[in-house]
Amino acid sequence: MKKQCVYFLLLAALWAGSAFAENYVYLPLDNTIAVAAHKGWAAEAFAPFGYKVKTVDLSTVKISGATAAMLDRGDLNFSSAMAYMATDYKLNGFDTKVIWAAQPTIRKSVLVFGLKDSPYKSIADLKGQTVGSIRYCCGYAAALEIFNHAGYNIDTDLKKGAVRVWIAPSSTQIQQALLANKIQAASDHLQVTAHTEAYLQGLYRVLDTLPENSVYQRYGGRAYYFGTVKWIDAHPELAKAFAQLVDKTKNWMINPANREEAAQIIAKDLRIPIGVARFQNANLEWSSLAPSEHSWDKTVESLKQCEKEYKNLGEPLYLKKSLSDKDLEAFVDKRFFEGGQYSAFSN
């Protein structure tokens, strides 16, 4: 009996070892990661460290704060957001750091749009009306600037504006409300799948775009990849591999010769219509793909200017509390930028 017990204990130990021997890195499934995974580059990036890749589809996550919880638990190792949203994590006490940053985005990254057959032909017609947007996200940030440039303001947490704002949990809800005439316009990305489909079907009219040389275009709309301080400090070599993977994939996707192939991959692997994927990636007028920002100094300065300029626009997020220059400098991990110990851009 004693020998049998020892035998079964050994079997259990071997089973447990085989079950948990494989290490995984968990990547957010966006257009860039979909291409990287499809081309085999993601697997190649982490194989030298003994890690396999699992992608996490965040489009199915509907609960506010779920992404932060997943990062904290280790169910997700990296996430992405534009500056406005990325700094919101820090403002709310979540300990993250940036390991990759993009250069400025395009003016058409965020737009104010309405239904093509509605009586609202320009944003001047929206005074006293309701615009749908997502709080602490690109659409709201851009709306502050677009309407301010037009001479009147939108609702904020601190005061009422000439334009009411309906805060939605997602772009899909904004689309549904717009099609049902519950709101008169939206401020959001047309590159979001739900809106792209409606736009390509001729249902939308663009009412206005970001002003020339806007705060959002220069600073607020830049994309960032980040992770928790705890995980990145424990796995700097994996964070470097990820930053290099993003840089390699973005550069390949930006090349006009590769855009159709990228669109085909995105359509297949993210299960979206090919016309939508082409609009998001292959259409040079609308694609918001931006190359890597190599400079730590420029990345930090961009975040500082973003906070300063949005304060001037009356954004309550930064008026209520803000990050110091020192906080922002710590938020961007210098090790992963040009000249750093784990730079993705060093030979």
* pLDDT digit string, tens, across residues 2-32: 444 443 344 344 334 333 346 999 999 999 9
Give the tens place of pLDDT for each residue, 293-315. Answer: 999 999 999 999 999 999 999 88
From the CB of residue 128, how many other CB atoms can be counted at a distance below 10 Å?
10
Rounded Cα–Cα distance for residues 100 and 337 (Å): 8
Element (H, E) at 52: strand 51-56
Burial class (CB in 10 A: 0-12, 13-18, 19+), 143: buried
What does each C-alpha distance from 250 to 32, 101, 192 come to in angstroms?
Answer: 7, 12, 18
- The residue type found at 129 is Q
Provide the percentage of residues in the chain whose pLDDT is more than 90.
75
Residue 69 above 50 pLDDT? Answer: yes
Q: What is the pTM of this model?
A: 0.89
Cβ neighbours, 10 Å, residue 330: 15
pLDDT tens digits, residue range 252-289? Answer: 999 999 999 999 999 999 999 999 999 988 787 787 78
Which residues contact residue 235 at a Cβ distance below 8 angstroms, ignoring those fewer than 6 apart?
77
pLDDT recorded at residue 84: 78
Q: Which two three-digit tokens encode residue 341?
A: 């110990």
2-105+219-336: CATH topology is D-Maltodextrin-Binding Protein; domain 2 (3.40.190)
- 2-105+219-336 matches 111-209 in fold: yes
The mean pLDDT of 108-133, rounded to a whole number, is 95
Across the range 200-228, mean pLDDT stands at 95
Residue ranges of the domains in the chain?
A: 2-105+219-336, 111-209
Q: Which residues face 188 on adjacent strands?
A: 111
Superfamily of domain 111-209: Periplasmic binding protein-like II (3.40.190.10)
Residue 292, phi-psi category: left (phi > 0), alpha (psi -120 to 50), beta (remainder): beta
Binning pLDDT at 50, 70 and 90, where does residue 118 land?
very high
Strand order in the sheet with 204-209: 164-167, 130-133, 185-188, 111-115, 204-209
Q: What is the pLDDT of residue 9?
A: 40
